[in-house]
Amino acid sequence: MFHDLWQKAKPVLSRTWQQIRWIFHRFQLIRWAILAVLLLVLAMSTFFTYKAKTADVQDIKSSLQTKTVILDANNQKAGQLYGQKGTYVNLDAISKSVQDAVISTEDRTFYTNPGFSIKGILRSAVNLVLHHGEITGGGSTITQQLAKNTLLTQKQTLMRKGQEIFLAVQLNKVYSKADILTMYLNNAYFGNGVWGVQDAAKRYFGVDASQLDASQGAIIAAMLRSPSFYNPADHLDNARSRRNLVLDLMVANNKLTAQQAAAAKAEPIQVVDRYSTDSAEKYPYYFDAVIEEATKAGFKLDDILNKGYKIYTNLDQTYQTKLEQTYAQDWIFPQAAADGTKPQSASIALDPKTGAVRGVVGGRGDHQFLGFNYATQLQRSPGSTIKPLMVYTPALENGYHYDSVLVDKKQSYGKNNYTPTNATGTYLGSVPMYTALADSLNAPAVWLLNKIGVQTGVDSLDKFGLQLKSGDQNLAAALGGVTTGFSPLQMARAYSAFANGGSIVEPHFIRKIVDATGQTVLDNGTPTTKRIMSASVAKEMTSMMIGTFKDGTGMTAAPSGYTVAGKTGSTEVPSQWGYGTKDQWVIGYTPDIVVSTWVGFNNTDTNHFLAGTSENGVAPIFKLEMENLLPNTPQTAFNTKDAKSMAQLQTPDGSGDILGNVEGAIKNGLDKAKDTLGEWYNGLRGMFD
């Protein structure tokens, strides 16, 4: 019997034992899992503690109060970088209504918590589960928000959230609650490019932060949740609704009585803008370019804005002001498109001897901090402004002269029968080089590039610092028919070689940067000058380019009373769109200054292009800005006359001196011989192609 019972019980006992072992095993796994989690928490805690203790917590207050100063070419203060800093004020200069409103909405336990809130963390954890692991924000104390805004990125991750909590604890140890609240209110963003409670009070109510009443203070606190959605200048109804909610929260937090809240709700909201950056963004595009250059030199953007540097620049405040005054005149710009879109434009003024950028305007319309700068970042076809660089300079270097006769005929080249045409549709048969350049004739330019060789032109461009893609290295490049684009800054640099007697210097905005301790952390020193052509070639090129403004395509752009050399350029739009252009350029110079100006729509299409040519587009802009700028330059004269007058001087009655005629006959005979040989060679080559 016992044996039978054992046999029946054995399977049951076995299963029970297996279950016990399984439970024990699972318990072991759970225990190890708990241990692993504890170890992970300990490791992360150690890591976050280390990160918090090694962060620049002690420097936050001084950093928020210190601004980077921009000095001009004469070491005079030109302004300061605004960045994420408003006008810093102490807590006693901030209305108690603002303080109470902010604490009531953002962190009721602010004065008693250790920098973080257990309830807030639990609330964040619940949100994490509800949103399937997505960090949605919220639950942060004022101290955590200060840590996030000053020491961390805005990216929502678990790692960043952990750092935020430990940094908040460290902040709470280093600073008093009054300091933390002060820093938070001075560092908060309030929309419309305004940082800090003092500037927000000026921007929206026209008063100091100390004068804000309960209604206004509630609106200030409301904007902390969403500056773009709750600011009264742009969304009055949203601001009113959120204000009333904040006032109710202040009542619940015993900061206002119900009667006081009701009175505040009844107060009309009047937006009064008395905000001024006090020269902080006086020259916004120049300052943007300074930041851009500093970051390329290895400086972090946050350091540039917050470390209290003194940045010594090449800015000429007079030049800069004159450029900005020109761009304030809407009447000189091409008309807007049918949908109201305005053409964009940019200009840059460069010292050809040193490469110092003296002034820049990077666009039209409202400026956005570190937004797109058309003067330094644009990549557009240069049109015919490429001709002096790719065609005429290398031609002079290869034996041609300013009065060499070029063929001006409509003809085709290569297997693809590339056929350049003159804009006027007329052809003279032959023209001197100076006429071809001044009148921007296309047929002679392509003919000449074909003679000297495309590679010669490409190599010449490279010396000017302009590189063409392999697919753009063809005859069409002579007219700017390239996919490669260049900026006004790049084109100004290239033309500076003509103004500087054949030598080129790298453009730069910054001379040196000095940190808050007085140590020079960047010194551009004396810029390196590189000779890319002989002085005689530069002089001869200048003589031809004076003709552009004297009797060529740039006549309407010529500044009254001044001699300027340079070139115009434009790129055509498809003929079915109508008569117009995509890009228009004028680049002009004297021995003292190079100015490169571009105009065109940001996006060119059938409804957005420039009607007509540069004569009625970019020309009036260039003329006005040069007439504003040139009186303030040293007004150094060119060491040459225009090529046309020199040619006429040599042959005033068509005969000239015997030696000149003999030289001309020999040269023209050689040119014709080259043409004949070239035609023979092309014919023979065609027999074998």
Pick from 220-224, 452-456, 609-613: least confident: 609-613
Same domain? For 74 and 165 the reply is no
Q: Residue 1: pLDDT above 90?
A: no
Given 208, 232, 266, which residue is the final one in a domain?
A: 266
pLDDT of residue 139: 59
Question: Taking a C-beta distance cutoff of 8 angstroms, is the pair 182, 197 a contact?
Answer: no
pTM of the model: 0.72
- Specify the higher pLDDT residue, 482 or 653: 482
Q: Which of 60, 69, 171 is nearest to 114 (CA)?
A: 171
Is the domain of 132 the same as that of 222? yes
Is 342 found in the same domain as 261?
no
Give domain status of residue 285, yes or no.
yes
Q: Is residue 276 part of a domain?
A: no
Inside any domain, residue 275: no
Domain assignment present for 622: yes
Contacts of 364 (CB under 8 A, 6+ apart): 327, 333, 342, 343, 344, 345
Whether residue 493 sits in one domain with residue 364: yes
Q: Are 573 and 435 in a shared domain?
A: no
pLDDT the model gives residue 7:
65
Tell me the average pLDDT across 432-452. 97
Is the per-residue pLDDT at 154 higher than 80?
Answer: no
Q: What is the pLDDT of residue 161?
A: 57
Active-site residue identified among 104, 215, 381, 384: 384
Lowest mean pLDDT among 176-190, 267-281, 494-508: 267-281
Do 208 and 147 lie in one domain? The reply is yes
What number is the average pLDDT over the span 298-308? 83
Note whether 93 and 198 are within 8 A (CB).
Answer: yes
- pLDDT at 152 (0 to 100): 54
Q: Give CA–CA dist 389/533, Å, rounded.
A: 11
The confidence score (pLDDT) of residue 302 equals 75
Q: Summarize pLDDT for 368-391 with one digit per residue, the tens.
A: 888 899 999 999 999 999 999 999
Q: Which domain range does residue 667 map to? A: 653-688
Taking all residues of the chain, what is their mean pLDDT, rounded to a whole number? Answer: 84
Residue 281 has a pLDDT of 61
Domain end: 266, 289, 318, which one?
A: 266
Contact 607, 339 (CB under 8 A): yes
Whether residue 24 is contained in a domain is answered as yes
Which residue type, as a one-letter code, is found at position 306?
Answer: N
382 phi/psi in degrees, rounded to 5: -85, 0
Residue 664 in this model has a pLDDT that exceeds 50? no
- Among 53-57, 140-144, 229-233, 314-318, the range scoring the smallest mean pLDDT is 53-57
Dihedral sign computed on CA atoms, order 545, 549, 551, 552: positive
- Please report, for the domain that includes residue 321, its CATH number: 3.40.710.10
Tell me: do 493 and 642 sit in the same domain. yes
Tell me, yes or no, whether 425 and 299 share the same domain: no
With a cut of 50, say whether residue 294 has pLDDT above it. yes
pLDDT reading at 303 higher than 60: yes
Among the ranges given (301-305, 548-552, 633-637), the one the predictor scored with the smallest mean pLDDT: 301-305
Top pLDDT among 345 and 170 is at 345
Mean pLDDT of 53-61: 56
Q: Is residue 124 part of a domain?
A: yes
Q: With a cut of 60, say whether residue 138 has pLDDT above it.
A: no
The total number of structural domains in the chain stands at 5
Residue 372 sits in the same domain as residue 438:
no
15/499: higher pLDDT: 499
Q: Is 440 a catalytic residue?
A: no
User: Of the listed 106, 164, 281, 572, which one is catalytic?
Assistant: 106
pLDDT of res. 369: 80
Average pLDDT over residues 524-535: 92
The verdict on 642 and 500 lying in the same domain is yes
Choosing from 266, 299, 332, the residue where a domain stops is 266
Our CA dihedral for 117, 118, 123, 128, rounded to 10 degrees, sits at 100
Q: Residue 393: inside a domain, yes or no?
A: yes
pLDDT in tens, 509-523: 999 999 877 899 999
Query: Is 60 a domain residue?
Result: no
In the structure, what pLDDT confidence band is assigned to residue 651 with cuts at 50, 70 and 90?
low
Q: Are residues 629 and 507 in the same domain?
A: yes
Q: Yes or no: say if 105 and 224 are a contact pair by the CB < 8 Å rule.
A: yes
Flag whether pLDDT at 340 surpasses 80: yes
What secondary structure, in 3-state letters, does 4-15 show? HHHHHHHHHHHH
Verify that 540 and 625 share a domain, yes or no: yes
* Catalytic residue flag (residue 397): no
